[in-house]
Amino acid sequence: MHSLCVKVPKKDAEKMKNYLEKLGILADLKMKKSGDYVLIPIKERVEGLEICEDDFEERKKSTKIGSFDIVGDIAILKYRENEDLYALARKLIGEHKNIKKVAVDYGVEGKERIRKLRLLVGNDFETIHREYGIRLKVDISKVYFSPRLATERWRVVNSVRDGEIIFDMFAGCGPFSILIAKYRRVKIFACDINPHAIHYLKENIELNKVEGITPILGDSREVAKRIKADRIIMNLPHSSFHFLPYALKSAKRGAYIHYYEILPRKNNREDSLKREAEKLGYTIEILEKRKVHAYSPSKDMFSFLIRII
All CATH 3.30.300.110 domain ranges in the chain, comma separated: 68-124
pLDDT of residue 211: 98
pLDDT of residue 303: 97
All CATH 3.40.50.150 domain ranges in the chain, comma separated: 146-308
pLDDT of residue 87: 85
pLDDT of residue 65: 61
Q: Are 5 and 51 a contacting pair, CB within 8 Å?
A: yes
Per-residue pLDDT of the chain (309 residues; tens, 9 = 90+): 889 999 999 999 988 988 888 787 888 788 999 999 999 999 888 788 889 999 988 775 545 566 789 999 999 998 877 678 888 888 889 888 899 999 999 887 776 678 889 999 999 999 999 999 999 999 999 999 999 999 999 999 999 999 999 999 999 999 999 999 999 999 999 999 999 999 999 999 999 999 999 999 999 999 999 999 999 999 999 999 999 999 999 999 999 999 999 999 999 999 999 999 999 999 999 999 999 999 888 999 999 999 999
CATH class of 2-55: alpha beta
pLDDT of residue 60: 59
pLDDT of residue 108: 79
Q: Beta-carbon neighbour count of residue 268 at 10 Å?
A: 9
Enter the CATH code of domain 68-124.
Answer: 3.30.300.110
d(CA 268, CA 181): 34
pLDDT of residue 285: 98
pTM (global) more than 0.85: no
All CATH 3.30.70.2580 domain ranges in the chain, comma separated: 2-55
Closest-CA residue to 270 (of 287, 293, 292, 245): 287
- Strand ordering across the sheet containing 37-42: 32-34, 37-42, 2-9, 51-55
Enter the CATH code of domain 146-308.
Answer: 3.40.50.150
